[in-house]
Structure 1
Amino acid sequence: MNGVRVGWARGLIELRQSFTNGADLLGHFLWPGLMLVALFFLRDREFAGTGFALGTLALPSILGMNAAMGMVSMSQHLTADREDGTLLRAKATPDGMRGYLVGKVVSVAGGLIADLAILLIPGLLLVDGLDLAPASWLTVLWVLVLGLVATLPLGAILGSVFPSARAQGLVQLPVLGLIAISGIFYPVTALPDWVQWIAQLSPIYWLGLGTRSALLPDAMVAVEIGAAWRQAETVAVLGVWAVLGLLIAPLVLRRMARRESGSSVATRRDRALQRVG
């Protein structure tokens, strides 16, 4: 419990600092800003003559996608902290690793919630036709919570596996590819069947589907696979990802922590200085 308390306090401090640091503040507003630009151009476009506006379809999907991007943020933070020795210092203190991980979950999840608010508030002014009943927001809540539980451990695994910040491009490119085929900006039913199957293997598709099921009118289910919201399947798939992540992440993190040493941090620092030089 001491590690949890320390981690909670650490996470809140990191979250607060991210809104006072210029670079972090730009990161909070840049991605939501780009998504709002995309919504602006999609707001009056219809999907295949159905009368359904792509902007209305896309806004709930983007909320789910942003939650899935938490795994990229977690991976980047973990890799950066390995390189600068933060992780080694946490390893050397009592309950340090537990506190470190709790802090990262708090700061990354808190930052994602803030980013969702930055996107959602002006987004509601751009598009029409959403179902904003209280029950819809309850569905959004459980989808996002389950999605974070499913994706943040995956981010910790990726951050443990990839040894440097430069290797993070190997994480981001596949994630961007999955976003492109997961029905976020255009209904997945417009894609070939084999692409639809690939999309349904990732949590990104199910997060987008879950938020669409919450905020879109029932008539818009016609553009989904099987013309159904499939909330039970959403719970099942995200639940499987969550269980796998929670089982594998501690093993990978412990293995990574055992391999951290002062010499490994110094080696990475020297390599970074040589690249700069």
Structure 2
Amino acid sequence: MTTFAPNPTLPAGRTVRLGVSRIGYEVKAYFRQGDAVFFTFLFPVVMLTIFSVAFSEGSFGIDDDGNIVSAAAFYLPAMLAAGILLSGLQNMALDIAVEKSDGTLKRLAGSPLPVVSYFIGKIGQVLVTGAAQAALLLLVARVVFGVELPTDAGAWATFGWVFFLGVTTSAVLGIALSRVPRSGKSASAVVLPITLVLQFISGVYLPFSQLPDWLQNIASLFPLKWMAQGMRSVFLPETFESAEPGGVWNLAGVALVTGLWLVLGLIVCRITFRWIRKDS
């Protein structure tokens, strides 16, 4: 098996510049993949549209002023959280697994590109595409379905940190998860069931309060439940807070659990990431 010398250590400033320069390349490569664009970028928009149309005559509760909460308003925060998971964890895990399989990482191993620069490019791509996806979701919800968006600066500040922390955590966990599939062909079979199950148990497709207590407890171990809860605190009326576990939005818990997963993901990436598999 061909071996490669470790990438040389570069000054921190140059390492960052190389990583930033790769963001544009990664974004262009992402949007050239039609299947990735549909199943990660457009999928939450499609699901928001389906739920909004299918339940257009239903009521999902009453807001603070006594107005009916529409299906579009109810599912918007859930689709925003799902988009973070898909853009980060699913996208990264599949993309890097394929790059390992098709020899892309093997070629990078022989280049001067540091691993940190590679990570900056990947995470930067997730931040850019995730932000574009969130903007598209908000635009569709407001323009197409007439959802009233928050006017309070504090709500948008909460949205900002929940989004940034969630998308960064999801991207790092996606990089860590990319180690599991043994080939690019098997990556979908490994990653897609994980993201699908997490969405069903974390209050994305089903109201979280309607799930059995034991399933809520399991979902609470994972970051998606907390990201969805954080998004609900931004976009749903205060009357919905009582339906949350403990009767509160618990934004401190959102930050704590998601942050712990970010640290765990970074540790796993540091220990396990290789340009090529040892058994390749």
Q: Quick check: TM above 0.5? A: yes
Cross-structure match for 2:103: 85
Q: Please, what TM-score do these two structures have when normalized by structure 2?
A: 0.83
> Which residues in structure 2 correspond to 1:105-254 (within 5 Å)?
105-125=123-143, 126-168=145-187, 169-253=189-273
Cross-structure match for 2:47: 34
Change beyond 3 A, Cα 1:130–1:227 = farther
Conserved 8 A contact 2:48-2:75? no
Amino acid at match of 1:97: V
Q: Please, what TM-score do these two structures have when normalized by structure 1?
A: 0.84
Amino acid at match of 2:75: A
Q: Which runs of 5+ in 1 are unaligned?
A: 265-277
Deviation at 1:158, TM superposition (A): 0.8
Conserved 8 A contact 1:8-1:102? yes
Q: Which runs of 5+ in 2 are unaligned?
A: 1-12
> Which residues in structure 2 correspond to 1:252-263 (within 5 Å)?
252-253=272-273, 256-257=274-275, 259=277
Measure, in 1, the Cα distance between the counterparts of 2:132 and 2:61: 34
Change beyond 3 A, Cα 1:124–1:43 = farther
Deviation at 1:196, TM superposition (A): 0.8
2:22 alignment partner, one of 10, 26, 29: 10
Question: How many residue pairs end up in the alignment?
Answer: 260
Amino acid at match of 2:155: S
Measure, in 1, the Cα distance between the counterparts of 2:170 and 2:30: 21
Give per-residue Cα distances to partners, 1:165-193, cap 9 Å, x unaligned: 23222221122111012112332111111
Deviation at 1:5, TM superposition (A): 1.1
Deviation at 1:215, TM superposition (A): 1.8
Conserved 8 A contact 1:14-1:107? yes
Give per-residue Cα distances to partners, 1:80-128, cap 9 Å, x unaligned: 1111111112111223322222111111221122122222201123153
Q: What percent of counterpart residues are identical?
A: 28
The alignment's C-alpha RMSD in Å is 2.4
Conserved 8 A contact 2:73-2:141? no
Structure with the largest fraction of helix: 1
